[in-house]
Structure 1
Amino acid sequence: MTAPNELRLLPWSGPGGKPCYLSTDAQGGYMSRLADSIESAQLDTAVELLTLASETLNSQDAALGDVRTLAMELTEALRDVLRVASSRGHLLALRDPALQES
């Protein structure tokens, strides 16, 4: 069993937006692979939205509604990317004792 400080933050939320964690000793297990796949998709989406944001903000013809929709999508993508960064940062710290001391 994984110790509580070694739980993996999953890339999705539970009821009420609460974080979900995975406790497993199997790094290549089904849930770990699913979380990796979802994290990858979330990061890909963020890259696509960043490109779209640059194009939209550089356009003189961008409608206010389009900019508002883009801002909402960027906010969601940023939330996902921060969750991925937090999860991966925690995992790196667990694997590298030098990171635990800083």
Structure 2
Amino acid sequence: MDKTRTTRLLPWTTPEGNPCYLVGDGTGYVSHVADTIESVQLGMAGELLDHIHDLLDEPKATHDQLRFAVARLSETLRDVKRIADSRGARLPVSDEPPSR
């Protein structure tokens, strides 16, 4: 098996909000922790979407409830985008043009 070293955007930031990266072959402890955190974040995103769906169906939802929900959606979307960016950057690059 070819163990290629790659740079991975991790699902957390520094205390100052800067991105964290890992250089490795994707099989180490930190990679496993990052995979676990990404899995939890994606699961929480799904649960939040279910909650938002229910909240939007509630005619008596308050402004504060909706504002809180939008804030959580913003945080979750940031996490999911970070995961997508990280995974997309690790996809193999092909020299062949896309098939039609």
Confirm or deny a common fold (TM above 0.5): yes
What's the TM-score, normalizing by structure 1?
Answer: 0.84
Letter of the 1:7 counterpart: T
Which position in structure 2 is the counterpart of 1:15?
15
Q: Map Cα deviations across residues 42-72 of structure 1 (whole Å, 9 max, x no partner).
A: 1001101111111101110111111111111
Query: Residue 81 of structure 1: CA displacement?
Result: 0.1
Once the two structures are aligned, what percentage of the paired residues are identical? Answer: 43
Unaligned runs of 5+ in 1: none
More strand by share: 2
Moved over 6 A (4+): none
Name the CA distance, whole Å, in 1 between partners of 2:74 and 2:54. 17
Greater fraction of residues in helix: 1
TM-score normalized by structure 2?
0.85
Deviation (angstroms), 1:89:
0.5
For structure 2, which runs of at least 5 residues remain unmatched after alignment? none
Does residue 97 (structure 1) correspond to residue 91 (structure 2)? The answer is no
Could you say what secondary structure the match of 2:20 adopts?
strand
Count of residues paired in the alignment: 95
